[in-house]
Structure 1
């Protein structure tokens, strides 16, 4: 398994980051280079999409208390590190109900025949649109994002985390998530992207499940899936 600790994501125009109150760290994990992110605020952390190498992610966050592990969706490359991370930190795990079965059978359902660490455990908390998850002073509101999977969700920052969104595989720089895997729906993804265009403010940094980050304003101007 690959593990690349990329350190802090440069988000200096986010006020809390510039003031040193908030940090977003990035880890690239697994055979298809999935982005895992950790939000650290006041010594407390929330980890988004630990797709592999959960124990190594925990070690890399030894200076913070991991209080919550969340998943944007249930594919193996986003959840197969959850069990090891939860075992190492004792943190609860949360995701949307519609993807729980997919996540708990993630290795079997992976489309590329790649071996992953583990299936996800049963979540301790089920997330629904409008719910809020927190790490220290950083808050994220849950937005529904079906299409890539039935239970896809986006975490949109509020408070100290305003200006940040974790979108998983719903949206990429210049592209959008595939819908040809079991449970995917092009019609649902089209509706999701149209709604997110209105719900996510233009200056928001979009932190994607694979590849580079972007901004909502750039995507609205250039991404054919958002035009």
Structure 2
């Protein structure tokens, strides 16, 4: 009985361990697409360590603001926090982190969303975001927690996010629920949200913009 209990506890601990990025097996693995004289790790080939340079660990694209001319009035560069980020920022490969730039027009919104594989730390650089964060303030959104950012000021706002996964993922709630393809049954959504079917039909008919 004690052996069975120990086995179950170890199994549960193992499941929990695989919920986030595993610890890297090497100090760094600068991603390179050339397989010659390279080691394949985490979906990318590692550059020969003797050829690694400082520029491999530098990323300059966040100097440039994203366009907020869209229905949400914001631009979230979390798409950089995906495997594509490693193509642009190869030094991040296997380090278990990612980053994003968030630009907001006055009253712009980054809609409710989650990162299923990473905790997010948000730093406000300019402006004021709700839950009220001023310039220099930091807020942490634990992994999988639904969160959003809203610019409550009359001027543009800027924030940077750091995420605890190389590929934290992003799921925008409204898009996933009402804009999914194929669509979720209206009967299911009507019962789940306790609203009239006409409301669900209206929401499913909208164009759900992804910033």
Give the greater-gyration-radius structure (CA): 2
| Higher fraction of strand | 1
Greater helix content: 2
TM-score (norm 2): 0.26
Which structure ranks higher in relative contact order (CA pairs < 8 Å, sequence separation ≥ 6)?
Answer: 2
